[in-house]
Structures are given as C-alpha cells and as structure tokens.
C-alpha cells in the first residue's frame, strides 16, 4: 500500500495566534449609510410613520405604483384633446405645481407653446395661457375665489 502524499499546498492545523476577524455587532437602531438620498429617505420614514408600519408603507407604495401603471382613459383623452399623442408625452411637457392648500396640479406646455393647468380631479381645463407664470397665476386666482378648507371646517 502506498501512503497518501500531501500536496504542495500547506494548510495550517489551527488559527493559532491569528484568528479570523470577528464582525462587530452594531447596536440596535444604528444603520449604515443609506443608498437613498436624504430627501427620499425622509419621505420614506414619514410614510412609515403615517401608515403605522413598514409593511403598510410598502403596501401603500405598491398601490401607488399600480395606479401609475394602470391605464387612465380620462387622462389619455385629455392628452389627445390638447394635441398630445399620449399621456406620457403630455406628462413630459408638464411641470408639477402645488396650490396654497397643498393640492397637486400640472402646468402643461401645449404643442402650440401655450400652457394649461390641470389635475386628476379637474381635467376640464378650458383656458390656455401665454406663459408658465401666467398659468401659475391663474391657479392662485382660482383658489382665491373659493373658501379655503380651513374656512369650511370652521363653520
């Protein structure tokens, strides 16, 4: 019988005086650097607090993402009415606005160069404006003609 021959690579029997480094435990609540921007992380944390749990926040994001993907006949029709081939092209020509009550609106530059102001709840835009500042001003003017939410709740 022949003896087993050892290979040329030597293997240590034990770690001896040089054990492998042990990973350091991080204290609860500490986190490494986030891959998100500070603003996005702050919004995510706010969503978690508003919904009550990370699971509920993820569910809310999933619902919002699904609504973004779902076809919206009304918005498609609105885009075509103003001369866009698609809702995506209309959104690409749009700038987000927020009114004094915190409602989201869009100011969209039409193919003609004029602007319209609209939102999902108010797709009945019938006026166009020469410039973005004029479109913004029309939004502020429309709000000053109606009572604010705070005024309505105090009656």
For tokens 């986030």, the residue is 34
* Residue 90, domain extent: 73-147
Q: Is residue 110 part of a domain?
A: yes
pLDDT at 41: 85
Q: Is residue 132 part of a domain?
A: yes
- Closest by Cα among 76, 105, 69, 74 to 90: 76
| Position 7 in a domain | no
Residues 85 and 136 in one domain: yes
The pLDDT tens digits of the residues spanning 55-84 come to 998 988 888 777 666 557 788 888 999 999
Distance, CA of 6 to CA of 20 (rounded, Å): 25
- Co-location of 123 and 143 in the same domain: yes
- What is the pTM for the complete model shown? 0.47
d(CA 95, CA 117): 10
What are the pLDDT digits (tens) for 12-34? 566 566 666 677 776 666 667 77
């Amino acid at each position: 019988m022949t003896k087993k021959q050892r290979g040329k690579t030597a293997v240590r029997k034990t770690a001896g005086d040089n054990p492998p480094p042990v990973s350091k435990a991080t204290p609860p609540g500490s986190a490494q650097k986030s891959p998100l921007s500070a603003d996005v992380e702050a919004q995510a944390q706010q969503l978690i607090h508003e919904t009550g749990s990370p699971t509920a926040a993820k569910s809310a994001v999933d619902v919002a993402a699904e609504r973004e993907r779902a076809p919206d006949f009304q918005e498609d029709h609105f885009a075509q009415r103003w001369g866009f081939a698609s809702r995506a092209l209309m959104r690409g020509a749009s700038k987000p606005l927020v009114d004094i009550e915190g409602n989201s609106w869009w100011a969209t530059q039409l193919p003609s160069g004029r602007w319209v102001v609209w939102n999902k709840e108010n797709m009945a835009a019938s006026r166009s404006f020469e410039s973005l500042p004029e479109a913004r001003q029309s939004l502020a003017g429309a709000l000053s003609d109606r009572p604010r939410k705070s005024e309505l709740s105090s009656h």
